[in-house]
Structure 1
């Protein structure tokens, strides 16, 4: 069984628990923080995956480091330690975010532009592209790409909406050259 499949199962279980207890936002925020900590601190993930350290000690470390996190997040991490799948914690957290966003009518989008977007532009893009994909709101991450020349390219999940000058010039070139 692939890591992603297993991670989705853990994420689904955590999502259902958070939904039942009505703490989706809190658990989601804690998992976002967890991802930040684990991605910026690879030594911690190495420590939690070290075979020479007992599972009880690892669980105590997790409980201490994430003492302010929601208990469901801490228990999920401890379960991943028990099942020797702590290396999948980031994938579980990201899968949870996807499930929670979907339940709340929110989608993540990456907008590539030649310059940083203003808040008004972000709001306008959120409304326009949110309608296209059937969500109420988009969480927009703005990536600067000077090679676009102008316009924007929006990626929402597997969908890409490209209205950049570079893509229009490429289309024109294909039409003229054949």
Structure 2
């Protein structure tokens, strides 16, 4: 029975995370994977080259050795494993799985701040630090979404938690109270 894309990502991402921990190279592997993910996002066709049956394994290994130059031994070994088992197309999903495990391990969360106006990096960072301190996290990395319909305030979505401090929500609560009193 063939594995799904998600199962492959979970198995390989977990294996790589455990391997990096065992080798005391978690930070270095994480840094290499972020660089690799950026490169693949900028040039997605790279992945299909390593999965294309037109190229023989010697050509693929030669090309991979050029790409993996400068990466840690652990990442090089892992990329060669993906090539050997023909799972290179799942590389981005595997990196995403690894990142989730890394973030959980380091108490780092990722979230979204929905605001009526765009926030600058300093404001996002301060908001993330405040949330991290309140919930005993190392850090919270926020991205900003602008939604003018919330009027003002902020809706913070981090993991499964949603904190709605928008003016729209406050007005809705006031309206509900007024209706319930009549």
The TM-score with structure 2 as length reference comes to 0.82
Residue in 2 that maps onto 1:165: 167
Residue of structure 2 aligned with 1:116, choices 119, 130, 143: 119
Match of 1:40 among 13, 18, 42: 42
Compare CA radii of gyration and give the structure with the larger one.
2
Distance 1:50 1:167, change over 3 A: farther
Q: Give secondary structure in 1 for the equivalent of 2:70.
A: coil
Which structure 2 residues correspond to residues 90-129 of structure 1 after superposition, within 5 A?
90-113=92-115, 114-119=117-122, 121-129=123-131
Query: Structure 1: any 5+ residue segments left out of the alignment?
Result: none
Cα distance change on mapping 1:135 and 1:52 into 2, 3 Å = same
Q: TM-score, normalised by structure 1?
A: 0.84
What is the aligned counterpart of 2:83 among 63, 81, 84?
81
* CA–CA distance in structure 1, aligned partners of residues 7 and 135 of structure 2: 25
Gaps spanning 5+ residues in structure 2: where? none
Aligned positions of 1:43-58 closer than 5 A: 43-58=45-60
TM-superposition CA deviations, 1:32-72 (whole Å, max 9, x none)? 11111112212212212211112332222122022112222
Aligned residues of 2:152 and 2:168 also touching (Cα < 8 A)? yes
Deviations 1:80-110 (CA, angstroms, capped at 9, x unpaired)? 1221211110011111111111111211222
CA distance in 1 between counterparts of 2:177 and 2:57 reads 62
- Detail structure 1 runs of 4+ shifted over 4 Å in the superposition: 131-134, 169-178
| Partner of residue 145 from structure 1, selected from 121, 129, 147 | 147
The 3-state SS of whatever aligns with 2:96 is: helix
CA contact (8 A) 2:50 2:60 kept: yes
Deviations 1:3-34 (CA, angstroms, capped at 9, x unpaired): 11221111111111211222212111111111
Tell me how far apart the structure 2 counterparts of residues 153 and 160 of structure 1 sit (CA, whole Å): 7
153 and 52 in structure 1: CA distance in 2 versus 1, 3 angstrom threshold: same
Distance 1:44 1:68 in 2: 18
* Equivalenced residues, count: 177
How has the CA–CA distance of structure 1 residues 79 and 118 changed in structure 2, closer, same or farther, with 3 Å as cutoff? closer
Q: Is the 8 A contact 1:152 1:163 kept in 2?
A: yes
The CA deviation string for residues 114-169 of structure 1, in whole angstroms up to 9 with x for no partner, is 212352x3344223322555422112223333343222222222333222223444
- Contact 1:130/1:138 (<8 A) preserved: yes
Name the CA distance, whole Å, in 1 between partners of 2:7 and 2:119. 36
